[in-house]
Structure 1
Amino acid sequence: MLLSIAICLMGLPFKLDAQVTVKRGMTLMGSRFEVTVIERDSVWANMYIDSAVSEIRRIENLISEWQPHTQVSAVNRAAGIKPVRVDREVFALTQRALAFSRLSDGAFDISIAALDRIWRFDGSMDELPTPEAVQRSIAHVGYQDIVLDSVASSIYLARSGMKIGFGSIGKGYAADRGRDLLKRLGVQGGIVNASGDLSTWGTQLNGQPWRVGINNPLKAHKMIAVLQMKEESVATSGSYEKYVEFGGKRYAHIINPKTGFPASGLISVTVYGPSAEFANGLSTSMMVLGAREGAKLLRRFPAYKAVWMSDGGRVRRIR
């Protein structure tokens, strides 16, 4: 997810009623994370942050498709060969991902990790890929061929060349789990920010809600909304940082799993509600579905709300 979230700690001294706000940034899951906690002193605060970091690293060591030792990598290596037994946590995350694929009619699909990289957003593309190349690129994509066995707690990718990855919801899941852990440890308030997919709880030192700004993708240093959050989560998907242009049309890095072409119509979608993982799935799906169908999907989940911007710069908010 794109880091399009600004955390605003508003007009407060950093010590009140024998408590402090401690914030630490680090690189986890290949992205920028930031953990903020409200605690009685900085020593305890840093110990709790250490615990959250350990939890996120544990998750990364389960679900990363880039590290060869993880269970997800083992599943990918066995594609078309045999099922692979995984921890219940990995199984349940995959189950939820497949449920989201069905809800979104395939707009969300963790098997898109197998997509051939014919779209490059590093400045090296000098022409559009041919329709034939695009069609070949999605040959190994299809959530319908991910087979789960609940009794064996196994995952089987039914076709050789398939691959799954949790880049679309993994960071949101880590943010949720980090928040859950810190709450269980007794931390009264804070934020786990996973590169823009974040979960909050409690309040700032002055008792005010956390203020989370949604950046305007077309105007640097401007915001399209500021959310007041206590126990809530937010996730943003966007097309405004990684894209190419041909013939005056923008092609962004969020790919439609069905067509192999970049999603179009929306520049950014921010979804907020109880879970960063679920908000992440919704924001990704809405980017692919577009404004009309995305709004229909969102309205099925009244606990979640959204702010999005169209390619033309129009901002819409569903509360």
Structure 2
Amino acid sequence: MASKQITFAGIFFFSWVVILSSFISKSLEAQTAAEPSENFQLQTYLTEEQALALVFPDCDDIATEVITMSHEEKNDLEKLLSRRLYEDGFKVYLGKKDGVIQGYAIITEEIGKFHPFTFIVGVTPKGKIKDIAVLVYRESRGGEIVKKRFLYQFVGKSFKNPIRINKDIINVTGATMSVQYLCAGVRKVLAVINEYYLNGKKAENSATHTNEPAVIPQKTEPIHSANTSQNANNRVARAQKGAEQSKRETGRSEGASSEVKMVKQTRMIMGTFAEVSVYSKDEKTAGQGVEEALNEMERMDRIMSNYKKDSELSQLNKNAAKAPVTCRGELLDVIERSQYYSGLSGGAFDITVSPVVALWGFFREKGRVPSDKEIERVLPAVSYKNIVIQKSADPKKPDTVFFKNTQTQIDLGAIGKGYAVDKALEIIKKYGINNACINLGGNIYVLGTSPGKTAWKIGVQHPRNKEEILGYLELKDEATATSGDYERFFEMNGKRYSHIINPLTGRPVTGTIATTIVAPTGTEVDALSTSLFVLGFEKGLDLVKKFPNVHAMIIYEGNDGKIMVAMTKGFADKFKKTPVKGEDDVKWHVVASN
């Protein structure tokens, strides 16, 4: 099952305009305004789930609490740290084993020289740093701070330590500003844990609550997320009505200017990074649209997550093998769409593959090779035909879903992100935004174009060299996604085992290296990139021919050991090659269009 993440999915969004987070100092704003675009380089090292697994390796439960600071509390913390804070609160992760707290962690951001970087700090119950890791780094220089040998300096430090360059942290030449702000961010995390958990201030904080979504600091003020699409639609309608009234009264919308600006926000959603970037003259309305789009993706996560115990999908998985379970709305819709792709692909795409994926150890990030008997025992549970959807002819009676095998479980990881992107796009369009890029872990939809351009440029990563791209796609009003054997894998006895499992055999796919799809919707590219990866070159192309507006690149292993890159003509028309090292090891060919 394909898991698409910003870097590992092989797709990069090339940003042509620099947008500043509100916490950047004025001195840096002037510096960033003239920053050359090549200084931006998005590099993702860990997802939220992977970072938490690193910090809490032995915990059997990870709880979350959100600390919302009052104005006075924020002032006190700023005085303690001798700096201004852009956050009004923090999401704190509590790792537990047998109900006992083993440690705390916070995922936060600080600015480097030009762009923010995202990192996690794990703290012991005694207030000492246990682990620290960088999740996302966004600059072309200063990346030395992500290395373990540098980060190890922080381990064992507490809030009592200076944590300053050349005091107890050795500087890295060429990354001074990144090191400086990382030190400041680490002290910030230690101060929060120290004040609210070790010194008892949390008990006094009446605004503390649990189970809130992780939100990376945003540019605009947050709008509370909705639990239903109707609430979201109501807010969109109010925003549109207000904007129209403002136009009538002032001649242009409130917050509008003659200059097109980019509004961009990022959050952790579905265990990966979600980023929505829009161009608009009306910065206020654009900000509201971006906020609502991210809220909508979070709502999809609350419905489709199989990690959240209270999600609709988790409840379905828990009960559907016992008796038919009521299923409605988006969950039923995405399951029905999944069944459609399963049928067309002959079972190569299958949302019931998770029992076998678990058998290979990919959910625990600890790969293992199961025996043939283990696979044979679990394989009967893996079949889309085990899912029985009963549509009710009576509108007063609900539709239901039933599992024919007691071990069958649904995992929407190979279609859910693309579906969520489509739902976010609906929100963006309702706000009247015509130029946007929605990116959820490498599932990307581009609407319109970026200013002064005829298309958005999306890079396609070299599958064997993450420092290079094979080329870039020029897209407009289209979606794209990649599945690759380099996203998640383990090696044993010199053999690579990819996390993408063939549902028909119960074993990792071999031969296919990566597949990139361009199609009208996020749902299509998400499902088809996995389908083609499993089917391989020839059968994959046969499937593509069934979709007139779908274009594909399939990278596979040639008989001579070379990397074979096959593109449909429609894909080749949108793709621009770039020079790569080892060009002689790559063979390109264009196949008949669909």
2:528 matched to 1:287? no
Corresponding residue pairs, total:
318
Aligned to 2:524: 278
The Cα shift of 1:140 comes to: 1.6
2:509 matched to 1:268? no
Where does 1:154-193 land on structure 2 (aligned, <5 Å)?
Answer: 154-193=400-439
1:6-31 per-residue CA deviation (whole Å, 9 max, x = no partner) reads 112348999x9421012222101111
The Cα shift of 1:2 comes to: 3.5
Aligned to 2:315: 74
1:15-65 per-residue CA deviation (whole Å, 9 max, x = no partner) reads x94210122221011111111011224433322111111111111111112
TM-score by length of 2: 0.51
Aligned to 1:99: 340
Q: Quick one: structure 1 residues 9 and 116, their matched pair in 2 at CA, closer, same or farther if it must change by over 3 Å?
A: closer
Aligned to 1:135: 376
The Cα shift of 1:158 comes to: 1.9
Distance in structure 2 (CA, Å) of the matches to 1:23 and 1:123: 32
Aligned to 2:473: 227
Residue aligned with 2:382, SS: coil
2:13 matched to 1:7? yes
The Cα shift of 1:180 comes to: 1.7
Distance in structure 1 (CA, Å) of the matches to 2:483 and 2:453: 30
Aligned to 2:445: 199
TM-score by length of 1: 0.93
Letter paired with 2:260 = Q
Aligned to 2:592: none
The Cα shift of 1:124 comes to: 4.4
Distance in structure 2 (CA, Å) of the matches to 1:94 and 1:117: 21
Aligned to 1:114: 355
Distance in structure 1 (CA, Å) of the matches to 2:384 and 2:409: 10
1:272-313 per-residue CA deviation (whole Å, 9 max, x = no partner) reads 110111111111011111111111111111201011221342
- Structure 2 runs not aligned, ≥5 long: 20-32, 34-256, 393-397, 571-594
Residue aligned with 2:294, SS: helix
- CA RMSD, Structure 1 to Structure 2 (Å): 2.2
The Cα shift of 1:123 comes to: 7.3
Aligned to 1:64: 305
| Equivalent pair of 2:274/2:294 in contact (CA under 8 Å) | no
Distance in structure 2 (CA, Å) of the matches to 1:216 and 1:38: 29
Aligned to 2:587: none
| Equivalent pair of 2:272/2:441 in contact (CA under 8 Å) | yes
Residue aligned with 1:36, SS: strand
Where does 1:293-308 land on structure 2 (aligned, <5 Å)?
Answer: 293-308=539-554
Q: Comparing both chains, which one has the higher relative contact order based on Cα–Cα distances under 8 Å and sequence gaps of 6 or more?
A: 1
Residue aligned with 1:105, SS: coil
2:322 matched to 1:316? no
2:266 matched to 1:50? no
1:246-297 per-residue CA deviation (whole Å, 9 max, x = no partner) reads 4543221100111110011111101011011111111101111111111111
2:478 matched to 1:245? no
- Structure 1 runs not aligned, ≥5 long: none
Residue aligned with 1:128, SS: coil
| Equivalent pair of 2:518/2:550 in contact (CA under 8 Å) | yes
| Equivalent pair of 1:75/1:157 in contact (CA under 8 Å) | no
The Cα shift of 1:114 comes to: 3.0
Distance in structure 1 (CA, Å) of the matches to 2:291 and 2:418: 19
| Equivalent pair of 1:269/1:309 in contact (CA under 8 Å) | yes
Residue aligned with 1:139, SS: helix
How many percent identity over aligned positions?
Answer: 30
Q: Quick one: structure 1 residues 170 and 222, their matched pair in 2 at CA, closer, same or farther if it must change by over 3 Å?
A: same
Distance in structure 2 (CA, Å) of the matches to 1:299 and 1:163: 31
Letter paired with 2:488 = K
Residue aligned with 1:307, SS: strand
Match of 1:147 among 388, 409, 414: 388
Q: Quick one: structure 1 residues 143 and 215, their matched pair in 2 at CA, closer, same or farther if it must change by over 3 Å?
A: same
